[in-house]
Structure 1
Amino acid sequence: MDKWEMYMEIQQLIKKGFSKSKVAEKLGVSRSTIYRNLKKSPSEMAEWVESLQTRRKKLDTYKELILSWLQEHPDMSAAQVQDWLQERNPSLEIGESTVRAYVRELRHEYKIEKETSPREYEAIPDSPMGEQIQVDFGFTKQRTINNKEVKLSFIAFVLSNSRYKYKEWLDRPFTTEDVIRAHENAFKWFEGIPGELVYDQDSLIVVSENGGDLILTKEFQQYKDTRKLNLRVCRKADPESKGRIENVVGFIKHNFAKHRVFHNIESWNEQGWQWLNRTGNFKIHNTTKKRPVEVFSLEKQHLRPVIQKINVINKYENSISRSVHKDNTIRYLSNRYSLPLGTFSKYETVGVKESEDQHLLIYIPETGELIAKHKIPEGKGHLIKDRNHTRNRSKGIDAFLDTVANQFKNKEAANQYLTTLREKYPRYIRDQLQIILRETKRNSDDLLSVALHECERRKLYSATDFSDIVQYIKRQRQVNDTVNDNAENVTPINSLSSWIMETEAPKREVDTYTVLMEGDSQ
């Protein structure tokens, strides 16, 4: 029902003697909507409806971009649309209701149905401030820039009262040592330790419930005693005990990770922490109606301070150590494996362990930090090298940037754009440049120029954004070519855009109804 139809329906129901509350209930709207409509005369309502049809909306600038997201990902939520917009345009200030309404209109206009899978939860009371953190694991399958699929794992933490969150990702399964390290990072993020930590039954932490007397893994029991943690493990089929973290895991999957392209685990984690600050902990919570970051400023005062620093020593099961040679390699089973340049000057030995997928994991024993991962070959006497280990990645960026800029017709504009990328992603500029270079080899000069102009105009400073815009323009041109091929046989009746034809049934002018209403009210 459009606004004018609703206005007429409200007027008719009121004249029939229905109360305002009954009218609101019958039409499925709020009473404030009824009051607003009753305050307007028919002529005022007609002018307002007409102004809505011609008024430019705040998100019209991003209409084509949002529409491309919805068409490619029909299950995309309005909340994720808002997060993606603000990720690409940090200065954009837009309300949640505005984005929801705009996305709803686009879905209706272009007939894009949203897929949903609702789940019911039972309400439980809030814990006191500083009392509880809930912890859980999750995993997602992401597409890489090469359109391959990779499985990622994450651990998430949430303070039960403020809903303030933290998360970490790995591109391999978590070990107990990884879990302990994530706890240390989480306590640093939260600036303290809660009264209790609530977990699901996970083999990385719990060996057995033992009738309520928990038997923990050896490593986690030692960590629990050192940190003096109070643990509680949920019983099976008892999701309500950790409903907060269940929601957080779903929020991370569907708002942050869904449809996002994976490049490498370092940039993925960095994007995740930016998302926490921008959306995860800043967005107003649907239940508390408060921003988690604001409530956290009070709750952190109730946490137990982290006094001592713990060095988490990685004790991989069946792991061994190897000496680092001056050519930055190690020897393992008659083969040599490369390490990042500079490893020899920092470490005398490293730890190694074979993974289940036939890879050799090389890590720093003191911290457990993974520094290299190689496929174990068949045979002996091989030198297995990672090309990223053969050069100093801090050098040659200027030359690389210049090489990429030369692929564009307007080198000066390209240089300015790439320089902005370098300022925004100093740690990942080489990855950014490689993505753009790949696009320049696949596409025409004209298409690249249009994409560069669109990115500058929309202030989209990211290689993935540039790639998205290139693909979007290509799709648009393919649709336009199809429309042009059939132009001789098709006569558009009413064109709203260059690639969509719409036909509308004849409609009577609003003035006709205005005259009738005003005549009836005299």
Structure 2
Amino acid sequence: MDKWKMYMEIQQLIKQGFSKTKVAEKLGVSRSTVYRNLEKSPSEMAGWVESLKTRSKKLEPYKELILSWLREHSDMSAAQVHDWLQEKHEDLKIGESTVRSFVRELREEYQIEKVTSPRDYEAIPDLPMGEQIQVDFGHTKQKTHDNRDEKLNFIAFVLANSRYKYKEWLDRPFTTQDVIRAHENAFKWFGGIPRELVYDQDSLIVVSENGGDLILTKEFQQYKETRKLNLYVCRKADPESKGKIENVVGFIKHNFAKHRVFHNIDSWNEQGWRWLNRTGNYKVHNTTKKRPVEVFSLEKQHLRPITKDIDLINNYEHSITRSVHKNNTIRYLSNRYSLPLGTFNKFENVCIKETEDKELIIYISQTGEIIAKHKIPEGKGQLVKDRKHSRDRTKGVGAFIDTVTNQFTDKELANHYLETLREKYPRYIKDQLQIILRETKENNENILSAALSECIKRNLYSATDFSDIVSYLKRQRRVDDTTTDNDQMVAPLNKTSGWVMETEAQKRKVDTYTDILEGDAV
């Protein structure tokens, strides 16, 4: 409607005794528009209307772009136009009322009518902060870049007090596991858990109402108990109980998803989360007249904190346990399945779960940590082994030698000795290293260094020889300590170590044996 003509009609209706609300209803404008017009005198109104003819509009540079959207999508709302402008031009700062006025003028000028389908809602009093999150599902059909129709599904969450929102999309139907994962992501997004969650009667969550005693799906029941959730499920044909989330579902469909081109699910979710920050949680709410993000800064303080992370794969099935055998395997359906080396020494039992894809998942019940995955074979009596569960026999020896070398003061000499053992005992090198490592843990550096020097000096390249020399040195040190205490220390006859005298065999000349054989010796 022409602004001057509207001004005159408002003045006439007021003079006829109509209230400002009735005037707004008759002319199809807002009450604030009526108030603004009544504040102006005829001369002020005339001057303002004249100034509009020469004043450039802020959205004029975007006129053709907005027109192309309205012509292609005649049912497009001004709010969605505002969001698309912000998405394409992040630096554009403009109010929604300006966009709404500009879109209305374009529709009138170019005769683009808007198709609407109004729906009635009943007002529900606001709940206390942190009291409730409402949850619901929705789906849309989106055009792809090659003009195909792609059906997308989403789950939406909204905090009842602040109207702060979260949503997650899939390009396939949701499973109960998907719903549980979405809940975990939502709780992280909100930074906590409310006192109550409100749902519709979705088959992924609820099996039966059972006269008020809800029977949940097995997985969701386990999740409910793990997170200690308090659930409220709406009765059939009772949309008023979750009117807030129904509004959110409609908002997502008509403001975010409508007319948007789908490329892939990852980029679609990324666009959706940016939309939440830009519009969904930032735009002033029509009912509360506040930005959800600002109210949420207070409401999140009333949420129950998330005390621990839970495993999303295994925590929702009743555990099936299997004993770990000493060869690091378990038995399941007449087959053996390998576990990482060392599992037997750490755990007596593990939990298992068979997936729909015939895969066996093996995990630790206390932590939910997955330690092995195997494809379940067709036959029986088989050993199903993951190659990663075997020893790396080349890399392991080198690492083992480095570990033992580091126990000695002279690492270069120790490494030379151990590498020689590796060449001499290639099949038993780990056993050799294990014997020496045991000695390094039980003795001090002085004894180890002395034993290493004596072994190399005497060309004794064997772990058992090394262990014997260590034992002798320890005995000799005890003897030396005793004699020192009694002041009875005996000086050696020569510089040769005493242990050599004890162990060296008596030597005779060859002639002695010849005389014995010939019978000359007495």
**Fold-level similarity (TM above 0.5):** yes
Measured in 1, the distance between the counterparts of 2:203 and 2:32 equals 53
Q: One-letter code of the match for 2:51?
A: S
TM superposition shift of 1:27: 5.1
Give the equivalent residue in structure 1 for 2:231. Answer: 231
Question: Is residue 185 of structure 2 the alignment partner of residue 167 of structure 1?
Answer: no
Give the equivalent residue in structure 1 for 2:177. Answer: 177
Measured in 2, the distance between the counterparts of 1:81 and 1:38 equals 30
Give the equivalent residue in structure 1 for 2:382. Answer: none
Q: One-letter code of the match for 1:118?
A: P
Give the equivalent residue in structure 1 for 2:434. Answer: none
Distance 1:209 1:367, change over 3 A: farther
Aligned to 2:308, the other structure's residue is in SS state coil
Q: One-letter code of the match for 1:181?
A: R
Q: One-letter code of the match for 1:222?
A: Q
Give the equivalent residue in structure 2 for 1:247. Answer: 247
Give the equivalent residue in structure 2 for 1:198. Answer: 198
Answer yes or no: is the 8 Å Cα contact 1:206–1:214 preserved in 2.
yes
Measured in 2, the distance between the counterparts of 1:276 and 1:130 equals 20
Q: One-letter code of the match for 2:117?
A: S
Question: Is residue 215 of structure 2 the alignment partner of residue 215 of structure 1?
Answer: yes
Give the equivalent residue in structure 2 for 1:456. Answer: none
Answer yes or no: is the 8 Å Cα contact 1:141–1:151 preserved in 2.
yes
Measured in 1, the distance between the counterparts of 2:153 and 2:289 equals 30
Answer yes or no: is the 8 Å Cα contact 1:177–1:315 preserved in 2.
no
Answer yes or no: is the 8 Å Cα contact 1:316–1:353 preserved in 2.
no
Answer yes or no: is the 8 Å Cα contact 1:24–1:30 preserved in 2.
no
Question: Is residue 63 of structure 2 the alignment partner of residue 63 of structure 1?
Answer: yes
Question: Is residue 300 of structure 2 the alignment partner of residue 290 of structure 1?
Answer: no
* Residues 262-287 of structure 1: CA deviation (Å, up to 9, x unaligned): 11111000000000000000000000
Distance 1:285 1:12, change over 3 A: closer
Measured in 1, the distance between the counterparts of 2:155 and 2:136 equals 6
* Residues 31-50 of structure 1: CA deviation (Å, up to 9, x unaligned): 76566546655454333212
Distance 1:214 1:113, change over 3 A: same
Give the equivalent residue in structure 2 for 1:270. Answer: 270
TM superposition shift of 1:258: 0.6
Give the equivalent residue in structure 2 for 1:115. Answer: 115
Measured in 1, the distance between the counterparts of 2:35 and 2:151 equals 53
TM-score under structure 1 length normalisation: 0.58
Distance 1:141 1:367, change over 3 A: farther
Aligned to 2:134, the other structure's residue is in SS state strand
Q: One-letter code of the match for 1:262?
A: F
Give the equivalent residue in structure 2 for 1:452. Answer: none
Aligned to 2:203, the other structure's residue is in SS state coil
Give the equivalent residue in structure 2 for 1:83. Answer: 83
Answer yes or no: is the 8 Å Cα contact 2:222–2:315 preserved in 1.
no
Measured in 2, the distance between the counterparts of 1:163 and 1:39 equals 35
* Residues 433-462 of structure 1: CA deviation (Å, up to 9, x unaligned): xxxxxxxxxxxxxxxxxxxxxxxxxxxxxx
Measured in 1, the distance between the counterparts of 2:148 and 2:362 equals 29
Give the equivalent residue in structure 2 for 1:157. Answer: 157
Measured in 2, the distance between the counterparts of 1:224 and 1:282 equals 31
Answer yes or no: is the 8 Å Cα contact 1:20–1:31 preserved in 2.
no
Give the equivalent residue in structure 1 for 2:135. Answer: 135
Aligned to 1:136, the other structure's residue is in SS state strand
TM superposition shift of 1:240: 0.3
Distance 1:149 1:211, change over 3 A: same
Alpha-carbon RMSD: 3.1
Measured in 2, the distance between the counterparts of 1:220 and 1:22 equals 50
* Residues 332-366 of structure 1: CA deviation (Å, up to 9, x unaligned): xxxxxxxxxxxxxxxxxx99757xxxxx99x9998
Distance 1:36 1:103, change over 3 A: closer
TM superposition shift of 1:54: 2.1
Distance 1:117 1:40, change over 3 A: closer
Answer yes or no: is the 8 Å Cα contact 1:313–1:367 preserved in 2.
no
Measured in 2, the distance between the counterparts of 1:273 and 1:155 equals 13
Measured in 1, the distance between the counterparts of 2:62 and 2:214 equals 53
1:82-481 alignment runs, 5 A limit:
82-313=82-313, 353=356
Measured in 2, the distance between the counterparts of 1:352 and 1:280 equals 37
* Residues 157-191 of structure 1: CA deviation (Å, up to 9, x unaligned): 00000000001111111110010000000000000
Answer yes or no: is the 8 Å Cα contact 2:129–2:302 preserved in 1.
yes
Q: One-letter code of the match for 2:82?
A: Q
TM superposition shift of 1:210: 0.7
Measured in 2, the distance between the counterparts of 1:23 and 1:84 equals 34
TM superposition shift of 1:93: 1.3
Distance 1:65 1:303, change over 3 A: same
Measured in 2, the distance between the counterparts of 1:119 and 1:187 equals 31
Question: Is residue 49 of structure 2 the alignment partner of residue 49 of structure 1?
Answer: yes
Aligned to 2:232, the other structure's residue is in SS state strand
TM superposition shift of 1:92: 1.4
Answer yes or no: is the 8 Å Cα contact 1:164–1:281 preserved in 2.
yes
Measured in 2, the distance between the counterparts of 1:22 and 1:207 equals 49
Distance 1:182 1:107, change over 3 A: same
* Residues 264-317 of structure 1: CA deviation (Å, up to 9, x unaligned): 111000000000000000000000000000000000000000011001006999
Q: One-letter code of the match for 1:268?
A: W
Measured in 2, the distance between the counterparts of 1:232 and 1:22 equals 40
TM superposition shift of 1:96: 1.3
Distance 1:7 1:157, change over 3 A: closer
Aligned to 1:251, the other structure's residue is in SS state helix
Aligned residue-pair number:
331
* Residues 377-424 of structure 1: CA deviation (Å, up to 9, x unaligned): xxxxxxxxxxxxxxxxxxxxxxxxxxxxxxxxxxxxxxxxxxxxxxxx
TM superposition shift of 1:155: 0.6
Q: One-letter code of the match for 2:234?
A: C
Identity fraction in percent: 79
Structure 2, gaps ≥5 residues long: 318-352, 371-522
Measured in 2, the distance between the counterparts of 1:203 and 1:303 equals 27
Give the equivalent residue in structure 1 for 2:427. Answer: none
Distance 1:23 1:49, change over 3 A: farther
Larger Rg: 2
TM superposition shift of 1:203: 0.8
Aligned to 2:59, the other structure's residue is in SS state helix
Measured in 2, the distance between the counterparts of 1:210 and 1:225 equals 19
* Residues 181-224 of structure 1: CA deviation (Å, up to 9, x unaligned): 00000000000000010000011111111111011111111110
Measured in 1, the distance between the counterparts of 2:111 and 2:154 equals 35
Answer yes or no: is the 8 Å Cα contact 1:177–1:314 preserved in 2.
no
Aligned to 1:58, the other structure's residue is in SS state coil
Distance 1:30 1:311, change over 3 A: closer
Aligned to 1:255, the other structure's residue is in SS state helix
Answer yes or no: is the 8 Å Cα contact 2:222–2:316 preserved in 1.
no
Answer yes or no: is the 8 Å Cα contact 2:218–2:316 preserved in 1.
no
Measured in 2, the distance between the counterparts of 1:213 and 1:235 equals 12
